[in-house]
Structure 1
Amino acid sequence: MKVISAGYPKTGTKTMTVALKTLGFNVYDFMENTTILGRDWEKIFKDGWITEDFKRMYENVEAVSDAPPNFFWEEIHKAFPDAKIILTTRDEESWLKSLVAQLRAVESSWTLKLMSLLTPTGRLTFKILLDYYIGQEIYGLKDSMLWKPFRRMVINEQILKLKFRKHNSHVLQTAPPEKLLVYNYRQGWKPLCKFLGVPVPSVPFPHENKGANIMDEWLATDPIMINIEKELMLSLAAIFIFCCIGGYYLFNWLPTNI
């Protein structure tokens, strides 16, 4: 482990992931963490952890970003004390607006709802980890993001702000100053590359998840999400075939039993 991106979601974490990949780092973002390491994270949230857990989980990973690693940045750094820490930042009001928009996008996505019910990977990623543990622990949500009959999810913006401030303050006060970079994606390549000790690439600096449209980006481009979509198509096909067979037998049973 070389880089821990400790910033809260919606502070440029997806942009940081793409930037680190461009610089040649092997990065585990939200999707890799919740699918490849999903059972490990479920155990951590439910039963706790030891430092050896993180050493094992990330022994072949060079960088982590987004939730849930950002929430556990300090524990991951204990496992990899030579790793550098990046705190991505953003002004509070624009961060809050963007995060709420993303939470509402998750809430309104029927694709995620179906994935959370009908696919094994989707159930772990969205229903168990995102909807339950990440929603409650990191965002402080009391409602489900995906299943609330007849009403919208309650989002307490004051609680979100307090969690955001507390997280940032803890990183600033606790991380070793010589290993910490406080960074805004608008600063571009130069401070990031200087901090990591790598040359500045010739490509423009990325800007991902604009306007909190991560749902569309995931569904269109993320290879893990595409595999979950395939699981969903197989599940829907199986349900369709089952209904057709059931309907056929019901149709043939009714005339002889009425």
Structure 2
Amino acid sequence: MKVIVAGMPKTGTKSMNKALTRLGYSVYDFPENAYLLGDYYNKIACEGWTTQDFRDMYENVDAIVDYPAHFFWDEIHKAFPDAKVILTTRNSEEEWIRSLVNQVAVNDRSVLFKLMHFLSPTCWTSLDALAVLRSLVFGSRSLVNVKDFNKQMAVKLYRQHNAYVLHSAPKDKLLVYNVSEGWDPLCDFLDVPVPEEPFPHKNKDGNFVNSLTTDYPVFRKIQREIIVSSIILSSSAVLTGMVLYKYGVSGIFSQARTCWDLITTRIWLS
């Protein structure tokens, strides 16, 4: 672990992912943290953790960004004390909460987000296991329902988180950074050459939802699971309809009773 991005979500974390990847770092963003390390975070949320847990989780990763890893930046830094810490920020708390609320609204409108919670086993076992941590980070268990989102609590937690990083991170290893500043302060802090291309700005207006399946392999897996589950459900519905059409409700119960009698008779004879 070389770089710990400790900034809250909606502080340019998707842009940081792309920038650090361009600079040659292997990066774990939210999808990797949630889906590849979901079992670890489920254990952390329910039972606690040790420094060795985080060392095992990130020993082969260069950088982390976004939820839920950012929340445990201090514990990760204890596991990797030579890592540099970047606190990404917005221009104001008001700007941050507007961006977060917009993201929740975008998630709420996303068909993919709705389907994956119902049709993807990967989502059931990983994403939903992080609900406890969402409450700690955002003051809400849901980030896909605007009506259930507590803006005041989220701002309070944003303020507390940033204050804790500023107070606790080693000053010689800390960069307070806004992605609008571009490459120069970031590359100077990391002691790497400045790329010639413009700094990447991702997820403007919360639109990262539209690029999930192209940017993150795990979401391609989820998309495949949604397709397979949809085919199974559709086939089951068609088969059920055909059986109902042929036998009717009473006929189905009659056929089921016949099968049950045959099974119990075979068991009795054996």
Instruction: Give the TM-score, by structure 1 length.
Output: 0.92
- Taking a change above 3 Å as real, the CA distance of residues 253 and 156 of structure 1, as seen in their structure-2 partners, is same
Map 1:1-258 → 2, pairs under 5 A: 1-90=1-90, 91-129=92-130, 132-141=131-140, 144-146=142-144, 153-254=147-248, 257=251
What is the alpha-carbon distance in structure 2 between the residues aligned to residue 232 and residue 184 of structure 1?
37
Q: Which has the higher helix share?
A: 2
Alpha-carbon contact 2:39-2:126 (below 8 Å) kept? no
Which is further off, 208-217 or 84-93? 208-217
Q: 1:113, CA displacement in angstroms?
A: 2.2
- Taking a change above 3 Å as real, the CA distance of residues 256 and 203 of structure 1, as seen in their structure-2 partners, is same
Alpha-carbon contact 1:34-1:124 (below 8 Å) kept? no
Q: 1:54, CA displacement in angstroms?
A: 0.5
What is the alpha-carbon distance in structure 1 between the residues aligned to residue 115 and residue 250 of structure 2?
37
Alpha-carbon contact 2:38-2:126 (below 8 Å) kept? yes
Greater Rg by CA: 2
SS at match of 1:153: helix
Q: 1:88, CA displacement in angstroms?
A: 0.3
What is the aligned residue count? 251
What is the alpha-carbon distance in structure 2 between the residues aligned to residue 68 and residue 88 of structure 1?
15
Which amino acid in structure 2 is aligned with residue 139 of structure 1? F
SS at match of 1:96: helix
Please give the root-mean-square deviation of Cα atoms over the aligned residues, in Å: 1.8
Alpha-carbon contact 2:16-2:179 (below 8 Å) kept? yes
Alpha-carbon contact 2:38-2:127 (below 8 Å) kept? no
Alpha-carbon contact 1:2-1:63 (below 8 Å) kept? yes
CA offsets, 1:51-101, max 9 Å, x none?
000000111000000000110000000000000000001121111100011
Moved over 4 A (4+): 255-258
Which is further off, 15-24 or 118-127? 118-127
Instruction: Give the TM-score, by structure 2 length.
Output: 0.88
Q: 1:212, CA displacement in angstroms?
A: 1.4
Unaligned 5+ runs, structure 1: none
